[in-house]
Amino acid sequence: MERLRSMVWGPAEFVGAPPLRLAAKGILAGCLAAVAIIGSTVAGAWYGITGLAVGEGGLVCAALLVLYLCGVRAGRALVGAVVVLAVGLALQTPQAAAGFVLAERGRAESVVVVSVEGASADARGGGRYLCSVIDRDGVPMKVRIWRGCEQTTRPGDVIAVVHDVEGRVPPRGAEGGGSALDALSGLGGWLAGLVFACVVAVVRSYRLSAPDRGHRPSPWTPPTSTHS
């Protein structure tokens, strides 16, 4: 049972407070991974690199973090928790990165609604509505807008959208717009959870000695006796 507990949760072979150097390593690993996941996705959205913008680079960073934890022989349950948090952060970042780019170099303009669609568009209550819109020149936008598109919105209404001046990020409704940091603030919970899980995983990987690779009985040597 002790061996199984060590495999699942990590050996944690220390008494009292955990070693500070291990806590520092855990914080460093978690922060570097989070910065790499978010930074690579924001860079992809900013420069129009599709693979990075959709979060593929973030998933690679998450995989490298998991390999590091496996290398220090962290508990499998804790490694699993880190996988969930790192992948979740990588999947949540693309939308936040797009909001970051629009907040930095987006330009607002008014568009005209030509149709309103949605699963609950003809029913009472909340729900997500999708507006097809045309710009001031009468050119239809390739994407449908849901921010600012409400149950009361009708064809012919004018709503505001924000679009990237360089065309690398799809436009979105201007409703609820904020600063670049506001766009990334929604990732705070994922980031904090990832760093905390990394700290626990690294700290509990502490071993006083080399990992047990199985006990092999030493060959038995019969006692020697002397005869007078």
pLDDT tens column, 196-228: 999 999 998 887 654 444 444 444 445 554 454
Higher pLDDT, 205 or 15: 205
pLDDT computed for residue 134 by the predictor? 94
> What pairs with residue 106 in β-bridges?
164
Q: Strand runs (DSSP E) across the chain, as ranges? A: 106-117, 130-134, 158-164, 172-173
Strand, coil or helix: 81: helix
Mean pLDDT of 16-42: 93
Rounded Cα distance between 199 and 110, Å, is 48
Average pLDDT of the chain? 85
The region of weakest confidence among 7-11, 49-53, 63-67, 173-177 is: 173-177
Token representation of residue 218: 């030493």
Rounded Cα distance between 190 and 63, Å, is 16
Highest mean pLDDT out of 7-16, 17-26, 58-67, 118-127:
58-67
Strand, coil or helix: 75: coil
In the chain, CATH 2.40.50 covers 107-173
Q: pLDDT per residue over 64-114, tens digit each? A: 999 999 999 899 999 999 999 999 999 999 999 999 999 999 999 999 999
Whether the CB-CB separation of 201 and 8 falls below 8 Å is answered with no
The region of weakest confidence among 6-10, 90-94, 142-146 is: 6-10
Whether the CB-CB separation of 174 and 162 falls below 8 Å is answered with yes
Q: Compute CA distances 188 → 43, 178, 181, whole Å.
A: 19, 16, 11
Q: Which secondary-structure segment (H or E) carries 59?
A: helix 56-71
Whether the CB-CB separation of 169 and 45 falls below 8 Å is answered with yes
Output phi, psi for 132, to 5 deg: -90, 130
- What is the pTM (predicted TM-score) of this model? 0.81
Output phi, psi for 73, to 5 deg: 60, 50
pLDDT reading at 132 higher than 90: yes
pLDDT computed for residue 14 by the predictor? 73
Token representation of residue 105: 């170099």
CATH topology of domain 107-173: OB fold (Dihydrolipoamide Acetyltransferase, E2P) (2.40.50)
Token representation of residue 10: 């990590």
Token representation of residue 5: 């507990």
